[in-house]
Structure 1
Amino acid sequence: MSNSNVVVYTSRNCTQCEHVIAKLSEWGVDFEERNVSENREYFKELQSKRIYGTPATFIDGEKILGFQVRKLKRTLGIPYEERFIDKDAMNFS
Structure 2
Amino acid sequence: MRHKHVSLYVSDNCEECDQIMDYISNLDISFDVKNTTEDKCHLSELQEHDIYITPAVIIDNYYQIIGFNKDRINQILNV
Determine if the alignment matches structure 1 residue 6 to structure 2 residue 6: yes
Match of 2:59 in 1: 59
**Cα offsets for 1:15-41 (capped at 9, x unmatched):** 111111101111101000000000011
Stretches of structure 1 lacking an aligned partner (at least 5 in a row):
79-93
Unmatched tracts of structure 2, length 5 or more: none
Q: Which runs of 4+ in 1 moved over 6 A?
A: none
- Name the TM-score, length of structure 1 as normaliser: 0.78
Hey, what does 2:44 align to over in structure 1?
A: 44
Provide TM-score, normalisation by structure 2: 0.92
1:16 aligns with 2:31: no
For this pair of structures, how many residues does the alignment match? 77
Which one has a bigger Cα radius of gyration?
A: 1
Are residues 1:73 and 2:74 paired?
yes
Q: Which has the higher contact order (CA 8 A, sep 6+)?
A: 2
Match of 1:63, SS? strand
What SS class does the counterpart of residue 45 from structure 1 fall into?
Answer: helix
Q: Give the match for residue 89 of structure 1.
A: none
Name the % identity.
31
Distance 1:46 1:27 in 2: 23
2:28 match: secondary structure? coil
Pairwise CA distance, 1:74: 0.6
Offset at residue 63 of structure 1 (A): 0.3
Amino acid at match of 1:45: E
